Amino acid sequence: MAKKTLNVGLVGYGFMGRTHSNAYLQAPRFFDLPYQPVLKAVCARNADRAKGFAENWGYQSIETDWRALVQRSDIDLIDIASPNDTHAEIAIAASQAGKMILCEKPLGRTAEEGKAMADAVAASKSPNMVWYNYRRVPALMLLKDLLAEGRFGRIFHYRSQFLQDWTISQDLPQGGEGLWRLDSSVAGSGVTGDLLAHNIDMALWLNGSLTEVAAMTETFIKERKHSLTNTMQPVTIDDASSFIGRFQNGSTAMFEATRYARGHKALFTLEINGEQASARWDLHDLHRLEYFDHRDESRLRGWKSIHITDGDHPYMKHWWVPGLQIGYEHTFIHQVADFLTAVGENREAAPTFKDGLAVDYVTDAVLRSAKTKQWESIPLA
């Protein structure tokens, strides 16, 4: 039987637009899905660049105004891959137009924006999802399963880092296309909302809600030239952000993110320590899960490296033969597959906008604590 088509309207043609487009093309080739995604239209302010992107990826048409895209009757799903300051307005309009919505992270620049978005999709009952793609790493899906099986016992500690080094040069400008992440009016914050949000979402998914945090942020270069005005302006984002915290289950938290860790391009790591077992993971070796179980025979007790490639590991039966690995782009393919499967079964697929709002509450509390120099509590989404 022919599958029902699902017409995608993408807003944005940058790095994330490419990862999403590839996912829509590849997901139905490897997964048995109830829908066939169709790349119907891409929207960007620059018509020539939008046309080039459309030709390269196979989009059938272009728009230069996202409002026109949202109102098109031939669009079923709006995918928001544009800068953070556009997320709320587009998502709310798309929900009111009855579209399915996928939105890049963070959900909103603030929890206030995120709540408006979550409320909008709740009112319209629009299927929705946030692109926290690292949840779909097979090794981390396996870790989620092991935690759910109770193998760790009581959890004591959760720690995580995300380290980069690309903004160290004081000659790097801020703002404009390509560097909007350095402009707080567009991004909302610096590494807290950009990098640390990934660590936080992963922690909430694996270990439950955070209840309070105590944070510190730092901006190392205080002024940068703005690429749009060519004038020196104060830097208002955070270059580094770290916090300690407590989870609802009683475990403690340690988080750090920075763009000033020379030698690191995307070092995302996490470790969980429980009463009976521990596990750690590194994005640079994403197909491996390091695991320690204290219940092993004492002579053989030690850390083991589990190579996540077998058919009984999460997602891997859809790919190659055991021993052959997959990569970063596959996490987006998995997310599209899970979303379309859930829509076909009339259920939600996490992380939903409500889950994204939970992350926004934490990032708001982190930034607030860095200013007040006090512990800050976190509301539940």
Dump pLDDT digits (tens) for 194-210: 999 999 999 999 999 99
For residue 373, list its beta bridge partners: none
Q: Give me the mean pLDDT over the 65-90 stretch.
A: 98
Q: Give me the mean pLDDT over the 141-156 stretch.
A: 98
What single-letter amino acid sits at 185? S
Dump pLDDT digits (tens) for 161-183: 999 999 999 999 999 988 999 99
- Does the bond joining 106 to the residue before it have cis omega, within 30 degrees of 0? yes
Token reading at 245 = 């915290």
Q: What is the pLDDT of residue 62?
A: 98
CA atoms within 13 A on the CB side of 133: 21
Closest C-alpha among 265, 88, 109, 76 to residue 187? 109
Cα end-to-end distance, the chain, whole Å: 41
Dump pLDDT digits (tens) for 108-120: 999 999 999 999 9
Dump pLDDT digits (tens) for 287-312: 999 999 999 999 999 999 999 999 99
Three-state SS sequence of 102-165: EECCCCCCCHHHHHHHHHHHHHHCCCEEECCHHHHCHHHHHHHHHHHCCCCCCEEEEEEEEECC
User: Angle, nearest 10°, between helix axes 197-207 and 138-148?
Assistant: 30
Closest C-alpha among 16, 21, 135, 129 to residue 83? 16
Confidence of residue 1 (pLDDT cuts 50, 70, 90): low
Closest C-alpha among 66, 25, 34, 32 to residue 332? 25
